[in-house]
Structure 1
Amino acid sequence: MSRLALLVALAFVATALRGGLMIWQEAARGADLTAPPASQIVYDRNGAFLTQIGNATQGEKGEKRVDYGYWPLERIPERVARATLILEDRRFYAHSGVDPRAVARALWNNLAHRRQMEGASTIAMQVARMQRPGPRTYANKFWEAATGLAIVARQGREATLSHYLRLAPYGLGSHGISHAARFYFDKPVDDLSWAQVALLAAIPQSPGRMNVTRESGLRLAVERARYAIAQLEKEGALDAAQAELARRELAAMRPLAPKRRPETLHLALRYERLAREGRVRATSQYDPRIHATIDLSIEREATQLARRYLSIFRNAGARQVAIMVAERGSNAIIADVGSADYNDPRAGAFDFTRAPRSPGSTLKPFIYALALERGALKPTDLLDDLPEGASGVSNADGLYLGPLTPRQALANSRNVPATNLLRRVGLEANFLFLHELGLHDLEATPESFGVSMAIGALPTRLERLMRAYAALADDGVMRDLSFARDEERAPPRRVMSLDTARLVTSFLADPQARLPSFPRYGPLEYPFAVAVKTGTSQNYRDAWALAFSHKFIVGVWIGRGDASGMRALTGASSAARLAHAMMTKLHGTKPGDLAPEAFAPPPGRVAIDLCRADAGPECPQTLREWVRPDEISARPAAHAPAAVEEALAAESGALVIATPEHNMHIWRNPEQPAPLNKLALKLADGGKDAQIVWLVDGAPFTVAQADETVFWPMTPGAHRIQARLALAPVASRPVRVIVE
């Protein structure tokens, strides 16, 4: 060999070695196992699919897409390993990342026979390609082979296979067999049958063509799965009976139902946001499911009701609606409807549970709560609903009712008493208290809102009102709203005393106190105990209703996306009707039903009956009020003919009837049989051990325990109902009812 030829040969070898070293170094850098973060599937409280939270990625051509899955395996199930390797890499345990036999076979088929191109890709080579996608070229194939060798050398075969089973595509954006098992069969991967494992193992060869939600795609996947079962039977991985069972199961398969998000896309977006903020957590790293508090059946009912009532109010200019439902006590959100329709061109894409709007009168209960907390207000005080001293504030109806108790003033939602009360306690104190309740997070000064913050000047959101009213319902303890079983929430904290919370609740739950502004038996009245507050913003831009019972809290907003006014559409005439329909649906109430429960009174207070301001000297109409014993010793500030003697008797242990109310007018349901028209009789706060004799028109009706509710078959006419102890001369004040 000439000297020149030797130099050329040496140069060629050096270049090859250098190139090989560079390729190996590049391959070694790709030998680490990497994967996108595991995406999450959200299920409702009953296990129904709600949505997926995907990962935004770029495809091989630079296009943006959203992928799902990438769930790691805690261990590889034997069935999954066998079915996958029989189809993808039979000699996985016999080679080091590149299979020479497969390469030779592929070269022979591709060059000599010119059949459809084969790639000879092993599991390790596929992992290399999935971690760094690129065009299908010979150069990239060579890099994949080198990287596959490096992966197996560094990570070992089990880790390589496990990583493949995390990255492999299973169609419809699903990656990883653990995710695919949940997504397609709603099972953990360990519980898959041989047929289901074989079907999933078939898909990665061509995920687009083998779309198992379509007949054609399922047919291709089943054909390949049957081949896998035959080969597994041949190798002894399953016996003849198991193989036959798998074939029958494959033959019976029908296209799988695709998972769909709920119509109210705002709900899916909320969970995506909560997950990205880290506020909702998956069960574990191997089971990245989120268990939502939402009940999709109630969500659908809320959506249907919202759309139905919005259609009624469209003629008055309403264009959008939002509704939330929470379980009382846990604050678990079971329905969350952000708009009538996400695709509605009239601002449907806005989530109006989160949109800041004018709250109208819905903040008033908290103005009263702060005044009670500070000792600036007592239940027996009188508040002036008069034009004098109103600072330019008027009531929504343009009328003034004169002196009112706090119960009447709040229940009638009078603007003048509320703004005067706010001024008495102080702008800054109220502004800070509303901030503490989470109703705003504004940096502005209280003076920029003035006393109008009591009647709608301070913007807030429906979800914030839900939390604040939940604190009122929960005896003054503030808890975050809950959207998932495993969720980061701030610890509960007390924001008002139990005494104040129960007093304000009793104000909002008193249908008699709402007169004359809100007539009886309208949308604010329920056949069971409900505290309700409505709100209407200036020029009828927003209509609100917040209501809570012993079981649920319902919040409703109705308005327009452009914040323009509606035509005389108030909270009481619109939002309250939707809230009423939702609440009665939740309780399963039928026409004519009456539930006996009442809200618990404030402990340490006693019930007295106060005359209404418009009752006249003989006091035919009274209001039940809860006062401290020391407030009775002095003559009540409210209307003079109050029953002080009865109140003093109550202080010493007398009985107080909670249901029915004094001077109650009751209509029987003509569609029910006479024996079913019954009136609940219940004491306000009876001892469990005491026996009570219930008297109707002076005659004993029944004997019951003090904490027991009894039911009296109603008969038409005026009746006098009384309760007395069976073994002591203690009796309640008689209650008069009229039955029609």
Structure 2
Amino acid sequence: MNRRTGIRFGGILLVAVIVLLGLNWTFPLPPAPQYSPMVLAADGTVLHAYLNATQKWRMKTELAEITPALQQAIIHKEDRYFRYHFGVNPVAILQAAGRNLFGRGRTTGASTITMQVARLLEPKERTVANKLKEMLRAMQLEAHYSKAEILQLYLNLVPYGGNIEGVKSAALLYFQQPPDYLSLAQTVTLAIIPNQPRLLVLGKNNALILAERNRWLRQFRQRRLFPDQDIADALAEPLDVRRHAAPALAPHLARRLVAQFPGQAIIRSTLRRGPQAQAEDLTKNYVRRLHELGISQAAVLVLNNRTRAVEAYVGSADFADATRAGQVDGVRAVRSPGSTLKPFLYALALDRGLVTPKMKLPDVPSNFSGFRPENFDKNFSGEVTVERALTYSLNIPAVRVLSEIGVVTFTDKLRDAGFQRVAHDAPRLGLSTILGGCGTTLEELTALYAALADKGRYCAVRLTAPLPSTSPPGPLSKKEGEPNDRRRQKSSGSPLFFGEGGRGVRLTAGDARLVSPAAAFLITDILAQHTRPDLPLGYQGSARLPKIAWKTGTSYGRRDAWSIGYNQDYTVGVWVGNFSGEGSPALTGTDIATPLLFDLFNALAYNSPNNWATPPASLDFRLVCAESGLVPGEHCPNQLIDYYLPGISSARRCEHQREALVSADGAISYCRACVPEAGFRRQLFLNPAPEVLAFRESQGLPATRLPAHNVVCRLVRGTDETGAALAITSPLANAEYLLNRAEKQQLLLSCAAGSEVRQVFWYVNDQFLRAASATERVFIRPPTGNVKISCADDHGRNVDIQLQVAEL
């Protein structure tokens, strides 16, 4: 070939390429098929599937699911030269033309698999013109995609009768298995149906399908396509099949993820099929037993503590129960948390050195600037240790600790833990937050407890895992101009790696240290006590219960019952109630939510090794006074061992007893300025906080007060050297009171004074009102307008407050 001929040939080739590129640009590939959204479990099995936008079951088959047996069966049945032609088989076309022209043999269209894909993508009437278009489109597909991707697209589009399309849809709906789990007989069955989907209907014409299947199996044996023994086993396999419902586990999470990732055909979740199915069954059966108590719903969340992967997600007892709002997602519903935030509060107090487990806190009627909390049982204990206050979920000690820490500090930490409603409402929240006076979700609470299980480290929960990076995107999904090999190298999701179910892989992204490992351990140690008031009496499964730490909660009005527990492996959150917000007298975390929590843990970790947390090196032991939990003072004979955080925990010494100088008959007390040379003795007196002393006296409990001070002492009306407190507890300073004149409403005067105080003196607008005992409740009819209330004690201390009074 001379130079001129070469140039002409090159020019013609260039023009041809330009023309082809122009045609390709003018007639682009058809849009990608609309697949049925699928949510997978962590192991890749289908949890939930939806109809696509055209109301068809078209579940996307991945390349990895196309087994060699399926490839061979389809190719040898439909297009034996599929791997060799360029989309059109010229030999087959000539043979078909001859048969059709001369009427010899079966009339055929010589369609290749690629041509069938073109027709399935753009269905048209079968005419010669449309056949030519199919051929051109087939060649275009071959230019853009590999043979494997074209075969994948074919298997995603082939009809199986009714609204079922694609081999994966047929495999799941008829055999309840993905394509790569099918037997040879089942695989060949799915290979023969697409040619006659209206005649060969699984579940209706099984006998006809069986005969056709066996005919093809014998042909495959003649072609030596599969081993003889495999063919024999397939021929002997019966065909007893019917259509089943589509996979429908985890409906609430599936709907959530499909809405979160619109247009995505396959979403891989972190759920594990076994725990998810168990959790759904346990929840549904348990709520069925609560119907007579006026309780209709429950929600459950199971977290893997090491990865924060959600392994079970139950939004309601029955998604299909419209009469009880079953489609509401209880995992994300904002509810009152009751007492479930108390462990986190005490953990923060431990880290700030405010408390230790054995330290005692007042549990008496208290007024926090107008907020008067009550315990759940309406009773008071006087003083309780921190561990008992948490174990018995007492309200007043918790409010007292929150008032010391500060609401803003507490809510800021909850914001760090992902509490969205708390973050939104933070400016309006007060001390009632710790008793459930805020909004939160089961997802937020469970993640918070998982942080306690993981040494105080918070990570957001994970609902999805990346799809395997070895599986490239399907056909008709690549970006224009991006080569196939480049797409295969792309990462398919987050750089974090997840194993099956996210197990055994520790996350490092987005960590937040909420509390120290020491505080987390101490709270866990308290919540794991064997003797618990919230262990349901007679609960039969408790003997097999793996060791867990757990906390219950009940919201105001008994509208929400919570029980959240954890061990080293899992954190399980349970909410029980009614989505309508209606309460029930029986609804408590202890009696209603905890049994379901135990059921779930027994199912998850029946024979678990029960590995447990060990004290971190930052913790140590010390002796404390048994009466106060503080460092022993001069008069602390009874001592016990308590945990503490060196350098952080308070080192305040105990003064639960106070030595005083009294007369021989014990009638009067002396200070150092007035003690006589003889005729006195030393005596120890209990020295509780004023409010505790007042409570003990009101309950008739032993509460010995210091005798009245020597009346002739020159300091009796001077400065008190003890520095003991005197406080007006009612009315409230700077408050506004509206009194009903017709009902003759009065104002209560009360104070909190030290044990040495016997008498107090009340003044209104600097006018003497009356004397009263330190614990006496005085009622008055105050004047209207600005009012000054003053109280003085018999040791010369004085306190004043201002308030506003109006009348109706």
Match for residue 620 of structure 2?
A: 605
TM-score, normalised on structure 2? 0.61
Supply the distance in 2 between the matched residues of 1:295 and 1:378 (Cα, whole angstroms): 42
In structure 2, the CA distance between the partners of 1:312 and 1:620, relative to structure 1 (3 Å rule), is: farther
Supply the distance in 1 between the matched residues of 2:589 and 2:415 (Cα, whole angstroms): 24
Q: What's the secondary structure of 2:561's corresponding residue?
A: strand
User: Does residue 434 in structure 1 map to residue 424 in structure 2?
Assistant: no
Residue 171 of structure 1 and its aligned partner are, at CA, apart by 6.4
In structure 2, the CA distance between the partners of 1:263 and 1:57, relative to structure 1 (3 Å rule), is: closer
User: Does residue 446 in structure 1 map to residue 423 in structure 2?
Assistant: no
Supply the distance in 2 between the matched residues of 1:576 and 1:153 (Cα, whole angstroms): 62
Q: What's the secondary structure of 1:321's corresponding residue?
A: strand
In the TM superposition, what whole-angstrom CA distance separates every residue of 1:5-59 from its partner, at most 9, and x where no partner exists? xxxxxxxxxxxxxxxxx999878855748644877866656x694424457243x
Amino acid in the other structure paired with 2:52? A
Match for residue 361 of structure 1?
A: 339
| Counterpart selection for 2:195 from 168, 193, 205 | 205
| Counterpart selection for 1:498 from 514, 517, 536 | 517
Within 5 Å, which residues of 2 pair with 1:420-569? 420-442=400-422, 444-483=424-463, 486=466, 490-510=509-529, 529-569=547-587
CA contact (8 A) 1:56 1:67 kept: yes
CA contact (8 A) 1:380 1:627 kept: no
Match for residue 734 of structure 1?
A: none
Residue 269 of structure 1 and its aligned partner are, at CA, apart by 3.5
Within 5 Å, which residues of 2 pair with 1:23-422? 32=29, 35-36=32-33, 44=41, 49-53=45-49, 56-58=52-54, 64-72=55-63, 77=68, 80=70, 82-89=72-79, 97=88, 99-101=92-94, 103-104=96-97, 107=100, 119-135=109-125, 140-148=130-138, 150-152=140-142, 160-161=150-151, 163-165=153-155, 167-169=157-159, 195-207=185-197, 209-212=199-202, 214=203, 216=205, 218-234=206-222, 236-238=223-225, 242=227, 245-246=230-231, 248-256=233-241, 258=244, 260-261=246-247, 265-269=251-255, 272=258, 290=268, 292-296=270-274, 298-344=275-321, 345-390=323-368, 391-422=371-402
Amino acid in the other structure paired with 1:473? A
Q: Which one is further off, 489-498 or 419-428?
A: 489-498
Within 5 Å, which residues of 2 pair with 1:632-711? 635-636=653-654
Amino acid in the other structure paired with 2:583? G
Match for residue 694 of structure 1?
A: none
Amino acid in the other structure paired with 2:291? R
Q: What's the secondary structure of 1:457's corresponding residue?
A: coil
Within 5 Å, which residues of 2 pair with 1:623-638? 625-628=642-645, 635-636=653-654
Amino acid in the other structure paired with 2:366? E
In the TM superposition, what whole-angstrom CA distance separates every residue of 1:669-695 from its partner, at most 9, and x where no partner exists? xxxxxxxxxxxxxxxxxxxxxxxxxxx
Supply the distance in 1 between the matched residues of 2:641 and 2:163 (Cα, whole angstroms): 63
Over the aligned positions, Cα root-mean-square deviation in angstroms equals 4.7
In the TM superposition, what whole-angstrom CA distance separates every residue of 1:442-487 from its partner, at most 9, and x where no partner exists? 5535231211211112111112111100101111012333456657
Q: What's the secondary structure of 2:557's corresponding residue?
A: helix
CA contact (8 A) 2:455 2:520 kept: yes
CA contact (8 A) 1:68 1:173 kept: no
CA contact (8 A) 1:405 1:638 kept: no
Residue 581 of structure 1 and its aligned partner are, at CA, apart by 3.4
Match for residue 762 of structure 2?
A: none
Q: Which one is further off, 243-252 or 172-181?
A: 172-181
In structure 2, the CA distance between the partners of 1:498 and 1:160, relative to structure 1 (3 Å rule), is: closer
Residue 346 of structure 1 and its aligned partner are, at CA, apart by 0.5
In the TM superposition, what whole-angstrom CA distance separates every residue of 1:534-592 from its partner, at most 9, and x where no partner exists? 111111111111112344322111111111222242111211222233334544389xx
In structure 2, the CA distance between the partners of 1:432 and 1:203, relative to structure 1 (3 Å rule), is: same
Supply the distance in 2 between the matched residues of 1:164 and 1:635 (Cα, whole angstroms): 81
Amino acid in the other structure paired with 1:307? K
In structure 2, the CA distance between the partners of 1:226 and 1:443, relative to structure 1 (3 Å rule), is: same
Q: What's the secondary structure of 1:540's corresponding residue?
A: coil
In structure 2, the CA distance between the partners of 1:562 and 1:208, relative to structure 1 (3 Å rule), is: farther
Match for residue 579 of structure 1?
A: 597
Supply the distance in 2 between the matched residues of 1:154 and 1:542 (Cα, whole angstroms): 58
CA contact (8 A) 2:87 2:115 kept: no
In the TM superposition, what whole-angstrom CA distance separates every residue of 1:421-458 from its partner, at most 9, and x where no partner exists? 22222222111111111233555352312112111121
Q: What's the secondary structure of 2:444's corresponding residue?
A: helix
CA contact (8 A) 1:264 1:341 kept: no
Supply the distance in 2 between the matched residues of 1:544 and 1:400 (Cα, whole angstroms): 23
CA contact (8 A) 2:300 2:331 kept: yes
Amino acid in the other structure paired with 2:113? I
CA contact (8 A) 2:623 2:639 kept: no
Percent of residue pairs bearing the same amino acid type: 29
CA contact (8 A) 1:528 1:597 kept: no
Supply the distance in 1 between the matched residues of 2:535 and 2:146 (Cα, whole angstroms): 76
Q: What's the secondary structure of 1:353's corresponding residue?
A: coil
Amino acid in the other structure paired with 1:265? P
Q: Which one is further off, 396-405 or 169-178?
A: 169-178
In the TM superposition, what whole-angstrom CA distance separates every residue of 1:227-248 from its partner, at most 9, and x where no partner exists? 44444455x4448xx3574254
Supply the distance in 1 between the matched residues of 2:657 and 2:56 (Cα, whole angstroms): 71
Residue 358 of structure 1 and its aligned partner are, at CA, apart by 0.9
* Number of positions where the alignment pairs a residue of Structure 1 with one of Structure 2: 585
Residue 97 of structure 1 and its aligned partner are, at CA, apart by 2.0
Residue 219 of structure 1 and its aligned partner are, at CA, apart by 4.0
Match for residue 665 of structure 1?
A: none
Residue 308 of structure 1 and its aligned partner are, at CA, apart by 4.0
In structure 2, the CA distance between the partners of 1:426 and 1:81, relative to structure 1 (3 Å rule), is: closer
Amino acid in the other structure paired with 1:104? A
In structure 2, the CA distance between the partners of 1:29 and 1:243, relative to structure 1 (3 Å rule), is: farther
Supply the distance in 2 between the matched residues of 1:638 and 1:467 (Cα, whole angstroms): 40
Stretches of structure 2 that go unaligned for 5 or more consecutive residues are: 1-18, 467-493, 497-506, 630-635, 659-808
In structure 2, the CA distance between the partners of 1:294 and 1:96, relative to structure 1 (3 Å rule), is: closer
CA contact (8 A) 1:294 1:334 kept: yes
Residue 348 of structure 1 and its aligned partner are, at CA, apart by 0.9
Amino acid in the other structure paired with 2:443? E
Q: What's the secondary structure of 1:538's corresponding residue?
A: coil
CA contact (8 A) 2:156 2:168 kept: yes
Supply the distance in 2 between the matched residues of 1:560 and 1:153 (Cα, whole angstroms): 59
Residue 420 of structure 1 and its aligned partner are, at CA, apart by 2.5
Supply the distance in 1 between the matched residues of 2:276 and 2:522 (Cα, whole angstroms): 32
Q: What's the secondary structure of 1:431's corresponding residue?
A: helix
In the TM superposition, what whole-angstrom CA distance separates every residue of 1:403-426 from its partner, at most 9, and x where no partner exists? 222222222212222223222222
In structure 2, the CA distance between the partners of 1:626 and 1:125, relative to structure 1 (3 Å rule), is: same
CA contact (8 A) 2:47 2:273 kept: no
